[in-house]
A and B are shown apart, each in its own frame.
Chain A
Amino acid sequence: MSSSSTSAQPREATADTVESPLLEVRDLHVEFRTRDGVAKAVNGVNYSVRAGETLAILGESGSGKSVTAQAVMGILDSPPGFVTGGQIVFKGRDLLTLGKEDRRKVRGSQMAMIFQDALSSLNPVHSVGSQLGEMYRVHKGSSRQDAKAKAIELMDRVRIPAAKARVGDYPHQFSGGMRQRIMIAMALALEPDLIIADEPTTALDVTVQAQVMDLLAELQGEYHMGLILITHDLGVVADVADKIAVMYAGRIVETAPVHELYAKPAHPYTRGLLDSIPRLDQKGQELYAIKGLPPNLLRIPPGCAFNPRCPRAQEICRTTVPPLFEVTDEAGTPRPGRASACHFWKETLDD
């Protein structure tokens, strides 16, 4: 594991340093203050990721996945967005307590982000080589020549064919899949400890998606990075994640190791998502569909935010916000890594 010693603030340096996560988001709240009102985009998110681990954040659009990631990266659009509570503990330090300059340093060299739309994240008027090289020039003070050599090395690393010949090409001269590789190369340049990939393959064809995900997983293993993979695709999650956090209306509603989540979900929303995947034995029948729509974040329903759509909802669900319950087995032993924000998690688990 990469050193977790960087000027640790004492109160976060707990006894289990070895086991302590690379990143821990605790009870994070983010809101957007707009003309129409306050949109509560993130309402108490908790998750953690260790070095070498892949955490998938699964959720429908608007559930707050990207905003949470932006808050972690320190690139939240502010105003209108404000972090109104919580902690983002990265390698023992709460990033929310850092000044602008320190924050920028962490973002530049220790964590990096890959976006869905590579074309709009890359600068169209600079060659990919100069954009890759700039990382070294700015952060490491490399010479122009060294930077170019590094850029070619990186392009090779993400398997862009004929890297040497293409280092001077512009982003639009590459295909979608190749551009996504360039984004990965940019993120890798300074060998960060954490990569956040926000829907990295959503815009790509399945054949290309498979290659890009393979590459990402391989590099992550090699550099022993933590990877947060944001997606709405249950197939991609099943393919690469170690553990999953399911988001709904700005909260994590369930966390679990990947196999357990698919085999035995403990939240009705997760359950509904899994049930709405077309299955072979259901051909010709109606697909299971979660009724209704995700809530308007300006008017999140009281109690459990999922209650208007939930087949299991009871009176308590309309009045009391379910905390994130620890999920245990029959004997009451906690199942590692499992939690569910449902009053009836046990019943759901037993279904």
Chain B
Amino acid sequence: MTDGATALSAPVPQGAAFTKPVPEGEPILQIRDLVKHFPLTQGVVVKKQIGAVKAVDGVSFDLRKGETLGIVGESGCGKSTLAKVLMNLEPATSGSVRYKGEEISRLSGAALKAVRRNIQMVFQDPYTSLNPRMTVGDIIGEPYEIHPEVAPKGERRKAVQDLLDVVGLNPEYINRYPHQFSGGQRQRIGIARGLALKPEVIICDEPVSALDVSVQAQVINLLEKLQNEFELSYIFIAHDLSIVRHISDRVGVMYLGKMVEIGSDLEIYDHATHPYTQALLSAVPVPDPAARQVRDRIVLTGDVPSPADPPSGCRFRTRCWKAQERCAIEEPLLAVPSWLDGLAAHESACHFAAEREIEQSAAEREIEQSAAERGAEGGTEAETERAAGQEDGSADGDDAR
């Protein structure tokens, strides 16, 4: 099977638009109807395609210059695949990715190389993403092999030492090996490598998930510092919703290969209108024991469907408590619902988009009150709808296999 997008490559004139600076707040990346399907094949000798895992299935959004866009969603919903396609590590099946207005899939040769240089990635696992047989200096300096123009041979050692310094590691560690570092330090090495080519966009795929709480805060602070210093734009993929809220200007919520809701952090966290976002937010354990009493958890029912065979219409309908007949027939588009206003009026892919009765901020006010007058247990626990546990999915086991 060929991937349509890469087949379209055509020469790009020198001095293309993407070499020019983008003003703050303007889109630096524009993603439209991006699709990535992994073919499912049958047969050993003659492979026959019998279907496809629709890992990313029509995703559109902008990344603005200088912003951090958080992306959240359960495992298996396509976040890493999205990152890999944006990084050109996987070819897109279809759709468009524009970098500073220039269609990436049409680029080749030097022009493609120049774009690739400007979009870098930091991976989740600092233990497996660094080659154990290379020194830190070689790991961080590796990108210079492909892009010698950024740091000519004679200047590389100095460039790597500067990077070590920037990420808060001792420049003298340049000849050490990854195993001599802790998890947090290794993640700093990964970040230094991501910075080596002076990119404009960094895609962080779960950059702190493998780290301890006390070290997470250090790495988050580092990422924020670097963003200010180098005017970076971030796509920040994570499952810790409180960290995403802290670092993001805007947040996108993914479900089964689709973006279901996107908006400013305030719009998503305090004024979510998509039922999936609401369920996800309500499931997050709040680090405050007083919150137990006011927890108003939505427990989802039903399995996460397979991305190889997603439900018709709205993909969330098999687990949605608001689903109607229409949801099975008509796919809700990601758009600002005309019937909403104020902070609720942001893009949400639901036919019946609406804020929850008990909104987050009201609940938080209650938490503060109850902290003072804590006593009897129970209350909301009992009211909470407890659905017989059949809701976790086929999708969440994928990583383990």
Which A residues fall within an 8 A CB radius of B? 60-61, 119, 158-161, 172, 174-179, 181, 203-215, 232-239, 241, 258-259, 262-263, 272-274, 276-278, 280, 282-283, 286-291, 293-294
Contacts and interface: CB of A to CB of B under 8 A. Distances in A.
Contact of B182 (A179, A204, A293): A293
B390 interface: yes
B292 A239 contact: yes
B289 A262 contact: yes
A29 to B, nearest CB: 24
Contacts of A204: 392, 396
A175 B285 contact: no
A145 B374 CA distance: 50
Contact of A207 (B183, B218, B300, B388): B300
Nearest to B371: A263
Contact of B396 (A159, A205, A239, A286): A205
A74 B284 CA distance: 34
Contact of B400 (A119, A211, A232): A119
Interface stretch (B98-106, B153-161, B170-178, B209-217): B209-217
Contacts of B388: 159, 161
Given A235-B284, A238-B291, A283-B245, A289 B392 contact: no
Given A161-B388, A293-B215, 17 more contacts: A175-B303, A175-B392, A175-B394, A177-B392, A203-B400, A206-B74, A206-B283, A207-B74, A211-B299, A235-B242, A238-B286, A258-B289, A262-B290, A273-B214, A283-B246, A290-B217, A294-B212
Nearest to A159: B389
Q: In terms of DSSP, what is the predominant structure of the interface of chain A?
A: helix
B386 A214 contact: yes
A223 B237 CA distance: 40
Nearest to A218: B386
Nearest to A283: B246
Interface in B119-175: none
B297 A210 contact: yes
Contacts of A206: 74, 239, 241, 280, 283-285
A60 B182 contact: no
Contacts, number: 155
B220 interface: yes
Given A208-B391, A210-B299, A259-B290, A176 B400 contact: yes
A213 B284 CA distance: 12
B397 A286 contact: no
Interface in B362-401: 364, 371, 374, 386, 388-397, 400-401
A175 B284 contact: no
8 contacts: A205-B392, A208-B393, A208-B396, A234-B213, A273-B214, A276-B213, A293-B184, A293-B215
A286 B224 contact: yes
B279 interface: yes
A288 B217 contact: yes
Nearest to A60: B212
B245 A278 contact: yes
A176 B396 CA distance: 6
Contact of B390 (A159, A203, A236, A287): A159
A209 B283 contact: yes
Contacts of A232: 212-213
B288 interface: yes
A289 B245 contact: no
Given A177-B392, A234-B287, A238-B286, A276 B217 contact: yes
Nearest to A208: B392
Interface of B: 74-75, 182-185, 212-218, 220-221, 224, 239, 241-243, 245-246, 265, 279-280, 283-292, 295, 297, 299-300, 303, 364, 371, 374, 386, 388-397, 400-401
Given A236-B285, A286-B221, A207 B392 contact: yes
A276 B214 contact: yes
B213 A273 contact: yes
A119 B401 CA distance: 9
Nearest to B225: A286
Contact of A278 (B183, B243, B397): B243
A211 B389 contact: yes
Nearest to B281: A206
B246 A210 contact: no
A238 B391 contact: no
Nearest to B303: A175
Contacts of B212: 60-61, 232, 294
Nearest to A161: B390
A175 B374 contact: no
A235 B285 contact: yes
B83 to A, nearest CB: 18
A256 B391 CA distance: 35
A259 B289 contact: yes
A99 to B, nearest CB: 38
Contacts of A280: 245, 364
A179 B286 contact: no
Contacts of B288: 238, 262
Given A60-B212, A276-B216, A288-B217, A239 B286 contact: yes
B287 A262 contact: yes
Contact of B397 (A160, A176, A241): A176
A262 B371 CA distance: 10
A262 B374 CA distance: 13
Nearest to B224: A286
Contacts of A214: 299, 386
A205 B74 contact: yes
Nearest to B388: A159
A310 to B, nearest CB: 12
A211 to B, nearest CB: 5
Contact of A238 (B185, B289, B393): B289
**Which 6 pairs across A and B sit closest by C-beta, in order of nearness?**
A177-B392, A235-B285, A278-B246, A289-B217, A208-B392, A290-B214
Contacts of A158: 389
A215 B391 CA distance: 13
Contacts of B245: 278, 280, 283
B287 A282 contact: no
